[in-house]
Amino acid sequence: MDDKKQIKAWVWYDWANSAFATTILAAVMPIYFIDVIGGTDAQWGFTQSAAAVIIALLSPLLGAMADHSGNKKGFLRLFAYIGAGASMLLVFPGEGDVWLASFIVILGMIGFGGGNTFYDAILNDITSPGNRDKVSARGFSMGYLGGGILLALNLAIIMKPELVGLADSGAASRVSFLSVGIWWFLFSIPIFRHVQEKKSTVQEKLGQKIRVATRRLRVTFAQIRQYPELMKFIVAYWFFFDGVNTIIVMAASYGKTIGIDTDDLITALLLTQFVGFPATFLFGKLAVKFGPKRMLYLSQAIYIVIVILGFFMTSALHFFILAGLVGLVQGGSQATARSIFSRLIPIGKAAEFNGFLSFTSRFFSFGGPLVFALVKVFTDSSRSAILAVAFFFIMGMILLSFVNTAKGEQEAERILS
């Protein structure tokens, strides 16, 4: 039977780290990067690509180490503190500090992405397979609410900095970065206090753990081929994840480049959060009723519509409409994908296979921002760059059609040979 206290504690972490996704990745930092620091949307895209490659290289080894040591929670704590600390450090970059700002953002993304590898793996420890769709969606929906609440507070300060004694919106933006680090740290406490994890009885030094983890990682690459449906889903997920990630991290800088006012941009992104909160709950229920694979198809089709409409966008109203559409599908689609993957993983391989998924998806996720940046550089058109993102959703839908999830769940029960 599921432990409700542990589930609640697990959900709170989504509330905690989503502040980084909303304020730093999606809304405030991309605009600050262009308006105050003096970077470009292409440079922001290259920053996202660099972070994705680094996370990709770290994730599988860390996942294997966590499985071997039985310490997923310990690794989650490490990366959460890295991410929270980096968020606070963003108060320092100012005009012209493009390299420093990019470095700190990359550090924060390592904390965010690396932590999520272990956070996702803990889902298998706290709930039964039949309940994972609902619990996963609950986590994402709470993330939308938590990230949205802090973004709303930050938005109020940025739009009216004089109300709290700040000189301008730039100073208010720096305060918002500090608030993310504090928020992330405080609301991570429940998962570290209440989620229980079986500890390994083997006591080894770090060097020994790394050697063992490296060997296990090689075995993972060999073993995963014994699960063809899981492998097909992973390939489809690469494209889907890349498309969603690109929309998240490039939307604000794209809107700024085509002339949308800063206050309108942040308000629209805030709308995404509060639409996403109830929509993710509903998406999870619909996934149970109609099947998660069908709902994943639907979400990718809507994303294609969003990208096409984004190409023609000319006003703040258009941006608000697109932000609402993103809110309808973003959290629910990610929660559904996470739930499907959890059911296709062999028993005892949660962190290791989540590390593999994080490695491969993060490695390929540099593609979306990189394609955006390169198309922008060669065509000098942000509109052409955003339209190119549709490719990732089209490929995701095509590849997902080849996945038989029922067969994959049967394969997951098989003993590894």
Residue 193, number of CB atoms within 10 A of its CB: 8
- Asked whether residue 35 is assigned to any structural domain, the reply reads yes
Contact partners, residue 245, CB within 8 Å, separation at least 6: 48, 52, 365, 368, 369
With b for 16 or more beta-carbon neighbours within 10 A and e for fewer, the 398-410 pattern comes to: ebbeebebeebee
3-state secondary structure 310-358: HHHCCCHHHHHHHHHHHHHHHHHHHHHHHHHHHHHCCCCCHHHHHHHHH
Is 202 a residue whose pLDDT tops 60? no
Whether 347 has a pLDDT exceeding 80, the answer reads no
pLDDT at 111: 94
Task: Name the token pair of 244.
Answer: 């969603």
Is residue 118 within 8 A of residue 137, CB to CB? The reply is: no
Average the pLDDT over 136-154 and give the result: 85
pLDDT surpassing 60 at residue 245: yes
pLDDT computed for residue 132 by the predictor: 73
As a whole number, mean pLDDT of residues 167-188 equals 95
Residue 80: predicted pLDDT: 96
In order of 4, 290, 340, the CA distances from 134 in angstroms are 13, 14, 12
Q: At residue 310, does pLDDT exceed 60?
A: yes
Query: Which of 11-25, 249-263, 312-326 shows the lowest per-residue confidence on average (mean pLDDT)?
Result: 249-263
**pLDDT higher than threshold 70 for residue 207:** no
Greatest C-alpha distance within the chain: 66
> In this structure, what CATH number is given to the domain that contains residue 359?
1.20.1250.20
Q: Within a domain: residue 119? A: yes
The amino acid at 159: M
Range 381-386 average pLDDT:
88
| pTM: predicted TM-score of the whole model, two decimal places | 0.74
**236/229 Cα distance (integer angstroms):** 11
In angstroms, the CA 269 to CA 273 distance is 7
Tokens of 49: 């690509």
Query: Residues 404-417: what's their mean pLDDT?
Result: 78
Amino acid at 388: A
Q: What is the DSSP string of 187-239?
A: HHHHHHHH---PPPS----HHHHHHHHHHHHHHHHHHGGG-HHHHHHHHHHHH
Indicate if the pLDDT at residue 417 is higher than 90.
no
Distance CA 268, CA 317 (A): 9
Our CA dihedral for 44, 105, 272, 323, rounded to 10 degrees, sits at 0
Residue 401 lies in a domain: yes
| For residue 256, pLDDT beyond 70 | yes
Residue 383 pLDDT exceeds 80: yes
> What confidence score (pLDDT) does residue 198 get?
61
Residue 199 forms part of a structural domain: no
**CA–CA dist 34, 230 (Å, integer):** 40
Structural domains in the chain (count): 1
Share of the chain above pLDDT 90, in %: 31
Any idea which of 114-123, 193-202, 316-325 has the lowest mean pLDDT? Answer: 193-202
Distance CA 31, CA 349 (A): 40
pLDDT score, position 139: 83
pLDDT value, residue 104: 97
105-111-116 Cα angle (round to 5):
125
Q: Give the domain range for residue 249.
A: 4-194+206-412
pLDDT value at 416 more than 70: no
Mean pLDDT of 139-143: 82
Q: Nearest 5°: phi and psi at 94?
A: -130, -155
- For residues 145 and 279, the answer to whether their CB atoms sit within 8 Å is no
Runs of H (alpha helix) within 33-71:
41-69
Residue 200 lies in a domain: no
Residue predicted with more confidence, 13 or 251: 13
Whether 201 is covered by a domain: the verdict is no
Instruction: For residue 415, give both structure tokens.
Output: 């003993």
Dump pLDDT digits (tens) for 323-340: 899 888 887 888 788 788
Q: Which residue has the tokens 């003993």?
A: 415
Residue 106 is predicted with a pLDDT of 95
pLDDT at 103 exceeding the cut of 90:
yes
pLDDT tens digit sequence for 15-67:
999 999 989 988 899 989 999 999 887 898 889 888 878 887 776 677 666 66
331 located within any domain: yes
Query: Does residue 253 carry a pLDDT above 90?
Result: no
What is the average pLDDT value for the chain, to the nearest integer? 85
Q: Give the per-residue pLDDT at 76.
A: 92
339 is a domain residue:
yes
- How far apart, in Å, are the Cα atoms of 166 and each of 60, 156, 171, 278? 44, 12, 6, 34
Query: Which of 67-76, 82-91, 148-157, 353-362: highest mean pLDDT?
Result: 82-91
C-alpha distances in Å from residue 314, one per residue of 181, 296, 320: 34, 29, 11
Name the least confident of 96-110, 222-236, 347-361.
347-361
Contact between 89 and 67 under an 8 Å Cβ cutoff? The reply is: no
DSSP string covering 347-409: TT-HHHHHHHHHHHHHHHHTHHHHHHHHHHHHH--HHHHHHTTHHHHHHHHHHHTT--HHHHH
